[in-house]
Amino acid sequence: MKKYNKTWVWSIFLLCIVGVTLSKNSLASDFVYKKILLTQSINLTNIESYVDEILVIEPDFMVVKINKNTVIPNISLSPTKESDFIQRKVDIYFQDEQQLVHILQAGVDIFHKTKQKIVGRAFDAQIKRLEALGLTIFVGDSL
């Protein structure tokens, strides 16, 4: 694999972010992050139908990205704290540049990159998205 300078890599990364942002039908300002306490049995499929994304899933709560005007019946949405945005340590294995582009588009925080492995941190939503694309991911402790 060729070596590229950091400016080129960051330019591609920013273009990917802009493309993803522009492809959404709603404005970014239409969405907020909310916390759902998991004190009772909750149907995850039901929640997924109301939210744009489930960013974090913990044993006692989840953080969702939701349209600010959306109400989920019988579910209480709470404000989030910075400590609610929990990321996991990840080792992501990729085989080609296309898979690397998917990793960059997902917005994974990259600590170290080798020829076919990225060590970094990611939210549960990012991990789920990359696994759906067939990437091999080993998830470690929360950071």
Residue 1 clears pLDDT 80, i.e. is over it: no
The DSSP string of the chain is -----HHHHHHHHHHHHHHHHHHSSS-GGGEEEEEEE-SS---HHHHHHH-SEEEEE-SSEEEEEEETT---TT--EEE--GGG---EEEEEE--SHHHHHHHHHHTPEEEEE-SSEEEEEE-HHHHHHHHHTT-EEEEEEE-
Q: Using CA atoms, how far apart are residues 91 and 78, in angstroms rounded to an integer?
A: 32
How is the chain split into domains, by residue range? 22-84, 87-142
Residues 57-77 have pLDDT tens digits of 999 999 999 999 999 988 889
Residues 13-41 have pLDDT tens digits of 554 454 444 444 567 788 999 999 988 77
The DSSP string of 20-53 is HHHHSSS-GGGEEEEEEE-SS---HHHHHHH-SE
The pLDDT value recorded for residue 45 is 82
Residues 79-135 have pLDDT tens digits of 999 999 999 999 999 999 999 999 999 999 999 999 999 999 999 999 999 999 999
Q: HSE of 141 in the Cβ direction (CA atoms, 13 Å)?
A: 1
Copy the structure tokens of residue 115: 């020829």
This prediction's pTM: 0.76
The pLDDT value recorded for residue 29 is 81
Domain 87-142 has CATH 3.30.70: yes
pLDDT band of residue 6 (cuts 50, 70, 90) is low
